[in-house]
Amino acid sequence: MAGVNEDLWTDVGLVIRSDAYRLRAVEWLSQAVRIPTETFDDMGPVGSDNRWDVFGAFHDYLRAAFPLTHSNLELTTVNTYGIIFVWNGSNDTKKPLLLAGHQDVVPVDLATIDDWVYPPYSGYYDGQRIWGRGASDDKNGLISILASVETLLEASFEPTRTIVLAFGFDEESRGESAKKLGVELEKRHGKGAFLMIIDEGDGFEEKFGTIFAIPAVAEKGYLDVKIEVTTPGGHSSLPPEHTSIGILAGLLVELESKPHPMRLERRSPVFLTLQCFADHAEGLPASLRDSIKRASHSKEALLDLERQLAVDKTYGSLIGTTQSITMIDGGIKANALPEQAWALINHRISTESSVEETMAYDADTLRPLAQAFNLTYITFGGNTTEQRTGSSRTLRLSDAWGTALEPAPVTPIDRETSPYALLAGTIKATYNLHRDLTGDNIVVSPGILAGNTDTQSYWNLSEYIFRYNHQDSSNGDMTGLHTVNEYITVDGYMEMIQFFATLILNVDESTLP
């Protein structure tokens, strides 16, 4: 980093890398993990469901832990627990930076408590790692952002460009809080008002002998399809040829045997990642490198590359629309014929597809079986109903929760003087500083996030949206996400704090609008 903030960046870097600061930062995150801000899919509105009350305790903790942030930034709460901090800059003609994160965590399955090395809400520090739910998703991100702001305030930094922080509180369940935050931010600042948005995402790791950081420039879409079969009931001693459960089983087997077709297109974020691998990955197999390079200009080679990648579960899942059977229910008694059985299919929709195309594929795939089982077929809101004469049996497909989401707009990356270039420079500078390196030691490549973040509510705020955690994926920090033994290495966490401090300083001195 070189510019007007270079000396401050160096000084702050020395502070962050000191032993005293390390212990202070450990306490910040450890205490945050100890507050079990769990969210569940069945929670009622704020004010009517006391499970939300724990977020009040979390806010109390943040006020005590980051006093300068609370006294120097403007704080607004939205829907009681949504947080917006505004650090006003001296130049209001420059577009603000928006840093996002979420306060909530996925619940801990009580049946797994004994499988945790340390209790899930202990925030235990073993000298190398901080353990507990939220340590790596996403209290590490939220606390790193606040720590960087608090530290810059302690260094008397006064921003030129306004910095905005937005923290939702139900990202792990419904994401409704971020929708309200998005509305409030758009009302205050307007559409397209932000220079760029950074939210949680994948980090960096070694691939093919080279270190790659892969900020996601897009997210896949989302759809939960409920498949519901209804049939007449009766006594189990007089069974029909197929019960509703048996029919449902046949439908699910059919779906799993016919996954959604995969399409690799040159404009897709995954292809951009592959191109970076071909250009920079030292250990990439020569045949794969050649296939990627030829696919850049040959349709036949592109199809051949698509076939190669289809057998790789990681790349196949990133490129295509995935389907996972995640829930199932049916029957109420051993000796009673089930009158209803249903299952849930979770789809992550390719950036080259859509919600409508995904629905149509599922409907077309199951249509022959609806006919074979003599089921009246009702698809997605009753827009298409195929009545079977004399049949009281039905098959219904629906958007289970009404939460279907189109794939996110793809962030532009085609200009050297762009928010993407600024982010890439910040990643490189942070990586080198943390390791006392010089030169170019990490490759930054655009990518895609298979899951969804709160940025789904911020599309109107900026065309430059990046999902990225400056976190080393190869050291195990992300293996405990949504399961037992979640932790973050303190080295990785300290580097995250350094990343956000570097980003704020870089954005502040940038000549971008």
**Catalytically active residues, by annotation:** 104, 171
Measured distance CA(362)–CA(360) in Å, rounded: 6
CA 78 to chain centre: 22
Amino acid at 447: G
Facing residues of 105 across strands?
38
What is the full DSSP assignment across 48-114? T-GGGGHHHHHHHHHHHH-HHHHHHSEEEEETTTEEEEEE--S-TTSPPEEEEEE--BPPPPGGGGG
Cβ atoms of residues 274 and 268 within 8 Å: no
Measured distance CA(494)–CA(471) in Å, rounded: 10
- The token pair at 428 is 């490189």
**Which helix (H) or strand (E) segment is 150 a member of?**
helix 139-154
Measured distance CA(128)–CA(316) in Å, rounded: 35
- Helix, strand or coil for residue 452? coil
Nearest to 108 by CA among 132, 138, 81, 136: 132
Measured distance CA(40)–CA(196) in Å, rounded: 30
Cβ atoms of residues 504 and 85 within 8 Å: no
